[in-house]
Amino acid sequence: MAFQISRDRIDQAPRRAGRSEREDWQTEYGRRLRTSDALVIGTVIAVAQLIRFGGLNNAAPLNWPGDTRIGYSVISILLALAWFGFLALGNTWSPSIIGNGPEEYRRLVAATMRLFGLLAIASLVLRIEFARGYLAIALPAGMLALIANRQFWRKFAARRRRSGRYLTSVLVIGRRDSAQAIMRCFERDPSVGYCVVGVYTPNDAGAEFDGDGPNVPTIGLESTVVQAVRSTGADTVAVAATEELGAHGINDLLWQLAPLGIDLVVTPGVADIADQRLTIRPVANLPLLHIGKPQYDRAKSFGKSAFDVVFAAAALLAVWPVMAAAALAIKLTSPGPVFYRSERIGLDGEPFHMIKFRSMYQDADRKLDTLLSANEGAGLLFKMRDDPRVTPVGRILRKYSLDELPQFINVIQGQMSIVGPRPPLRTEVARYDSKVRRRLLVKPGVTGLWQVSGRSDLSWDEAVRLDLSYIENWSMVQDLLIIKKTISAVARSEGAY
């Protein structure tokens, strides 16, 4: 096989001279995270003792087995040390998981729950009467504070990556098509910090790929993986096509990269599959990746519908003064109705009239044909950044998405969801292929992945990909995250025109 190497070759692999730039910033990031976690734990436990007992020295001593009495200040110190130790034992500061993905939070929560579970068992078995209010404050407050601390440092790392620091230099191994696919994924999520510096490919040697920089060079089979790593300065190797490696190629590659301190990541060859649908099932030392069925049926559940109605009703009550002001501004500045009802296609292809505040002049629809040549929209969509049909008030409404507030009425009527695919026009649906028609399997949404990922700046293919990904991977947690991100995106008026 092209990438296999012999045992002699492995034993003779040169070892690196020093730490890589990636290891330097990971060490710095981990040290800051450990220090801040320790401060968070100490502060939360001190506050819990202060609230429960009214002071750090006001607590009655705790009766320990054997008539031993221990003050709660000592208990607080021991609890803080134990909490920190459980986080260490749970590998919550592992460089492979900090800064990205949900695994960091899973380990954090699991380590904390193990500690307090052990305290509960010890209290029952040894008959130690811990002050319940003290622990009831420390556990949830500490958990939330530790999660907030991780979020703070993730944002810190994201800012560093935008300025060209905290990056991971990646050498991609794979054919041209698979390598290009993984590079696009890295570019779509710059917060991860993967910067492709080269492609090692069994064909198309000498070709150039569009990547993070102006061009990403390719390295053919005339070089080894080690030579490719050294020439590109990569500190991580990403395998984009496992079929090129053979049955034992991954293990051989790991042995080859280990002396160099190079990380190895492997893509399973699937995209837009949420982690809750992925399960690894080892069979005779062969890890099988089991992919769960698309979860679009869950997006039509009673629980989601009930949440939609309650959220929409609460939102209308909260924003009615803004809606009243918008309606008055529309009525006073241009002739025509306050609301604009546009036919859209909803669940299972059923048409409905989506309600919006009117943001254009009254005869806007009749002028559309004259503006088609200036279309800036993607695919089947018509978008124009400086559309002359939009009124001055309408520009303000669109900039902050205030024109979409009446869509909460559609949600209460059961025609839309709070979160879902973008509501399409009849002319768009008429040109859908079988794949894109999957968007009609659930109700369209007031907001969605398309809303928080670029809005009008998205390409047609990217908008479709995001909608289909949402449908296939639906979860209530994802809906809540999208709602949170929507508020932020609307406040910044990103991609809205």
How does pLDDT run across 47-80, given as a tens digit for each residue?
988 888 776 565 555 555 555 566 777 888 889 9
For residue 203, the tally of other CB atoms under 10 A from its CB is: 11
* Most confident residue range from 1-10, 275-284, 411-420, 428-437: 411-420
Q: What is the pLDDT of residue 178?
A: 79
Output the average pLDDT for the chain: 80
Q: What is the pLDDT of residues 402-426, one digit of tens each?
A: 899 999 999 999 999 999 998 988 8
Q: What is the pLDDT of residue 202?
A: 65
Q: What is the pLDDT of residue 446?
A: 93
pLDDT band, very low/low/confident/very high, at 495 (cuts 50, 70, 90): low
Q: What is the pLDDT of residues 172-193, one digit of tens each?
A: 888 877 788 888 888 877 778 8
147 three-state secondary structure: helix
Q: Is the pLDDT of residue 260 over 50?
A: yes
Q: What is the pLDDT of residue 2?
A: 44
CA distance 443 to 470: 12
Mean pLDDT, range 310-319, rounded to an integer: 94
Helices (H) and strands (E) in the chain, counts: 14, 14
Q: What is the pLDDT of residue 410?
A: 95
Selected residue with higher pLDDT from 392 and 61: 392
Q: What is the pLDDT of residue 212?
A: 47
Q: Is the pLDDT of residue 3 over 60?
A: no
The answer to whether 150 and 33 are in contact (CB under 8 A) is: yes
Please give the domain boundaries of the chain with CATH numbers for all domains: 21-162 (no CATH), 167-269 (3.40.50.720), 298-492 (no CATH)
Lowest mean per-residue pLDDT among 31-35, 126-130, 182-186, 290-294: 126-130
Q: What is the pLDDT of residues 138-159, one digit of tens each?
A: 899 999 999 999 999 998 998 8
Selected residue with higher pLDDT from 105 and 8: 105
Q: What is the pLDDT of residue 335?
A: 87
Please give the share of the chain, as a percent, with pLDDT higher than 70: 80
Helix (H) or strand (E) holding 151: helix 132-162
Q: What is the pLDDT of residues 237-249, one digit of tens each?
A: 888 766 666 667 7
Selected residue with higher pLDDT from 459 and 377: 459
The answer to whether 358 and 336 are in contact (CB under 8 A) is: yes
Q: Which two tokens stand for residue 263?
A: 């990380």
CA distance 374 to 69: 81
Backbone angles phi, psi at 323, to 5 degrees: -65, -40
Selected residue with higher pLDDT from 57 and 432: 432
Q: What is the pLDDT of residue 445?
A: 93
Q: Which two tokens stand for residue 469?
A: 């990904």
